[in-house]
Amino acid sequence: MNRRLLLILALILVLSCAKKDKRITSIVINGVSYPVVVIGSKTWMAADYQGPGAEEHPVPALNATAFLYNYRQAAAIAPPRGWRRPSAADYSQMLQYIGGGPDGQGFNYVTDSVLQKLVVPTGLPGLSGNNATHFSAIPVGFHLITFPGYSDATDRVGYWTSTSNGHFQYSLLLEAVETNNTWSLYGGLSNGLTSDALCIRFVKDN
């Protein structure tokens, strides 16, 4: 085999590897580009969906950054081909991958240092993290119809899932809770009303 042929074969191999290693870095939905990140076996949006029709956030100062949708609005948004609204199992697997444990209901949850891997460094006394996963959760609050005072707080964030238990719709809630001047961080799957207002992310299998 001559030297030129060896060089050609080597070039083909390099180009082939480069093509295989090329990863998607963003997706476009309704003309808006969103960053993505690989966590475990799935690729996630690394920013909240910010399309039209968002609910007015109960905290006026956060209107510019909080895009909250009830479940009917969330279900009407069409993700790009190959992407989907995450199921409760998708979020549960992500929590398990970053170090979470079982919650007794068939899902997983995270607390304190593990939860910090999902949240950006906010400087808030409660929910602030190191964003080690680059999921980039921002505690913009959420709006629960049955607990308006509780849900208006800005030390938490919630994300819709596509999973229903027949009466309620599951969501991932990340929040900080203060007890006797001590903050505890918690994240896990919960169920609520479809009229609640939460953030939206999309996911795809790798």
Amino acid at residue number 110: V
Distance CA 152, CA 60 (A): 10
Distance CA 116, CA 130 (A): 6
Amino acid at residue number 142: F
Listed by start position, the domains of the chain span 24-205
Distance CA 87, CA 107 (A): 11
Q: Which of 76-85, 175-184, 194-203 has the lowest mean pLDDT?
A: 175-184
Residues in contact with 14: Cβ distance below 8 Å, sequence separation at least 6, in sequence order? none
Predicted confidence (pLDDT) per residue in 80-109, tens digit: 999 999 999 999 999 999 999 999 889 999
Distance CA 34, CA 44 (A): 10
Distance CA 63, CA 103 (A): 33
| pTM of structure | 0.84
